[in-house]
Structure 1
Amino acid sequence: MSRTQLDVEKKYKKWIIILSVCIPLAVAALFGVNLRKLGFDVKPLTFLPPIYATINGLTAVFLLAALWAIKNKKVELHEKLMKTAIGCSVLFLLMYIAYHMTSDSTKFGGVGTIQYVYYFILITHIILSIVVIPFVLITYVKALAKRFDKHKKIARITFPIWLYVAITGVIVYLMISPYYV
Structure 2
Amino acid sequence: MRLREGLWWSALIAGIVAIAGYALSQLGTRNGGVRLPTSTFLERSGRVVSTRDFDGRVHIIGFFFSCCQASCPKICQAMQELQRQLRDTEVQLVLISVDPETDRPARLREVAASLRADPERWWFLTQVEPNSDQLFAWIEEGFGPAARPKQLSWYYAPQRGWDIAHSNRLFLLDRQGQIRDSELVVRLEGDGTPVFVVNEEAVNRLAEKARRLAGSPWFPVRWLPTLNVALNAISLVLLVCGFTAIRFRRVTWHRRCMLAAAAVSALFLASYVYYHWHVGHTRYPGEGWDRTVYLAILASHVILAAVLVLLVPSVLLLALRQRWATHRRLARCTLPIWLYVCLTGIVVYVLLYGLR
Same-fold status (TM-score > 0.5): yes
- Please, which of 48, 60, 64 is the counterpart of residue 240 of structure 2? 64
Count of residues in Structure 1 that have an aligned counterpart in Structure 2: 146
Paired position in structure 1 for 2:112: none
Query: How does 1:1-181 map onto structure 2 within 5 Å?
Result: 37=212, 42-43=217-218, 45-178=221-354
Q: Distance in 2 between matches of 1:64 and 1:41?
A: 35
Shift of 1:46: 2.5
Cα RMSD after superposing both structures: 2.3
Q: Distance in 1 between matches of 2:268 and 2:283?
A: 20
Q: Distance in 1 between matches of 2:214 and 2:295?
A: 32
Shift of 1:92: 0.4
Question: Quick one: which amino acid aligns to residue 64 of structure 1?
Answer: V
Question: Quick one: which amino acid aligns to residue 56 of structure 1?
Answer: N
Q: Is the 8 A contact 2:318 2:324 kept in 1?
A: yes
Q: Is the 8 A contact 2:213 2:279 kept in 1?
A: no
Cα-to-partner distance string for 1:11-58 (whole Å, 9 max, x where unaligned) = xxxxxxxxxxxxxxxxxxxxxx98x64996733712110111111111
Q: Could you say if the C-alpha distance between residues 79 and 41 of structure 1 is closer, same or farther in structure 2, counting changes exceeding 3 Å? A: closer
Q: Could you say if the C-alpha distance between residues 37 and 167 of structure 1 is closer, same or farther in structure 2, counting changes exceeding 3 Å? A: closer
Structure 1: runs of 5+ lacking an equivalent: 1-32
Q: Distance in 2 between matches of 1:85 and 1:106?
A: 26
Shift of 1:121: 0.4
SS at match of 2:284: coil
Segment drifting more, 134-143 vs 106-115: 106-115
Question: Quick one: which amino acid aligns to residue 217 of structure 2?
Answer: V
Determine what percentage of the aligned residue pairs are the same residue: 34
Q: Is the 8 A contact 1:43 1:102 kept in 2?
A: no
Larger radius of gyration: 2
Shift of 1:156: 0.6
Structure number having the greater helix percentage? 1
Segment drifting more, 43-52 vs 142-151: 43-52
Q: Is the 8 A contact 1:63 1:82 kept in 2?
A: yes
Paired position in structure 1 for 2:113: none
Structure number having the greater strand percentage? 2
Q: Is the 8 A contact 1:125 1:169 kept in 2?
A: yes
- TM-score, normalising length: structure 2: 0.39
- TM-score, normalising length: structure 1: 0.74
Segment drifting more, 70-79 vs 106-115: 106-115
Shift of 1:133: 1.4
Task: Work out which structure has the larger RCO, using CA pairs closer than 8 Å and 6 or more positions apart in sequence.
Answer: 1
Q: Distance in 2 between matches of 1:79 and 1:118?
A: 34
Shift of 1:98: 1.8
Q: Distance in 1 between matches of 2:338 and 2:305?
A: 7
Shift of 1:130: 0.4
Q: Distance in 2 between matches of 1:176 and 1:39?
A: 20
SS at match of 2:222: coil
Structure 2: runs of 5+ lacking an equivalent: 1-207
Q: Is the 8 A contact 1:121 1:168 kept in 2?
A: yes
